[in-house]
Amino acid sequence: MNIYVCIKQVPDTETKIKLNADSSGIDLAGIKWIMSTYDEFAVEEALRLRDKNPGSTVTVLSAGPARVVDSIRTALAMGADNGIHIDLPETADNNMAAKALAGALKKETKIDIVFTGKEALDDGAAQVSQLIAEYLDAACATVVLGTEYSGSSVKVRREVEGGAIEVIEAPFPVVVAAQKGLNEPRYASLPNIMKAKKKEVKALKAADVGISDSDQKLRFKNFQLPPPKQAGKKIAGDPAAQAKELARLLHEEAKVV
């Protein structure tokens, strides 16, 4: 099987975000970058599928500036076989990224299944998986919690609103977007981290996959950080007085009751 995983590099959730001088984006200085968490489930699922099908390969793709190669190397250290980096600007939107990833996939000999995370941790847009499938003219299943594979299709359990589970079957080629709970991602061992440094990461330019500036549909400006949280209030008095004062504050100040 020819198995692919599309990943995104995002700021670590513990990174303190600052805006750049003109508020057109975040200040990139000092940011620790990681593979988006949901993509880790996608990589793990790809590796498990490969291991159950001898002769299969897992190729990891990422679109973005040169730094995203580090996250590709992380996936290679987990056990992926090779990687593909598509060089895109920092400002690339979801459409540009999806079209670039699909363009790189189309250059491959055959595609059986493409795994992604259900969304990226930084923007939470949950668009790229569906857009990749559209550009590939492939089936797509999102928010996937469970999988069963046959020779030419996959049956998935996916999370829908209200806590219900939907079961669908899709033929290959298919894009499967992983949800937390699909599996437990493995840690990269030290020997595999060393091996990952020697694995091939193919470099592609935007033009190589048919991307131009017109493929960017969104441009952002005037970013704003959330307002600082107000200090809490401590209510004094006996329990009865505290309860009365709390009810007043909820009604008159917070206006939630």
Question: If the chain, 257 residues long, is cut into consecutive pieces of 10 residues, what is the mean pLDDT of each piece?
Answer: 97 88 86 95 97 96 96 96 96 95 95 97 92 97 95 92 91 96 93 90 96 92 85 88 91 84
221 in a structural domain? no
Cβ-Cβ contacts under 8 Å for 23 (sequence gap 6 or more): 221, 222, 223, 224
What pLDDT score does 228 carry? 83
Same domain, 141 and 252: no
Residues 140 and 235 both lie in one domain: no
pLDDT of residue 231: 82
- Predicted pLDDT of residue 253: 84
131 with 209, same domain? yes
What pLDDT sits at residue 83? 97
Is 172 a domain residue?
yes
pLDDT at res. 4: 98
Q: Is 207 found in the same domain as 106?
A: yes
pLDDT for 142: 96
C-alpha distance from residue 11 to each of 62, 123, 165, 202 (Å): 15, 11, 31, 24
Residues 174 and 254 in one domain: no
Q: Is residue 205 part of a domain?
A: yes
Closest CA to 130 of 146, 112, 144, 110: 144
Same domain, 235 and 137: no
pLDDT single digits (tens) 58-84: 999 999 999 999 999 999 999 999 999
pLDDT digits 0-9 by tens, 21-44: 888 888 888 899 999 999 999 999
Residue 43 resides in a domain = yes
Percent with pLDDT over 70 in the chain: 100
84 and 196 both lie in a single domain: yes
Residue 110, domain member (yes or no): yes
Would you state the pLDDT for residue 225?
A: 86
pLDDT given at position 226: 85
Residues 67 and 188 in one domain: yes
Q: Which residues contact 88 (CB under 8 A, 6 or more apart)?
A: 63, 64, 65, 96, 97, 100, 206, 211
Residues 174 and 250 placed together within one structural domain of the fold: no
Q: CATH number, domain at 37?
A: 3.40.50.620
Position 173 scores a pLDDT of 96
On whether both 52 and 8 belong to a single domain, the answer is yes
- What total of structural domains would you count in the chain? 2
Could you tell me if residue 103 is inside a domain? yes
Asked if 239 and 208 sit in the same domain, the reply is no
Quick check: is 222 in a domain?
no
CA 91 to chain centre: 16
pTM of the shown model: 0.87
At residue 88, the pLDDT reads: 97
Query: What pLDDT score does 216 carry?
Result: 93
Q: Identify whether 223 is part of a domain.
A: no
pLDDT at 179: 95
Omega before residue 173 within 30° of 0, cis: yes
In 43-59, which positions are buried (b, 16+ CB within 10 angstroms) versus exposed (e)? bbbbbbbbeeeeebebb
Beta strands in the chain (DSSP E): 2-6, 9-11, 33-35, 57-64, 82-87, 113-117, 139-149, 153-159, 165-171, 174-178, 201-204
Are 143 and 84 contained in the same domain? yes
Structural tokens at position 211: 């991307």
Q: How far is CA 97 from CA 35, 77, 112, 208, 243, in A?
A: 15, 24, 21, 14, 53
Domain range for 239 is 228-257
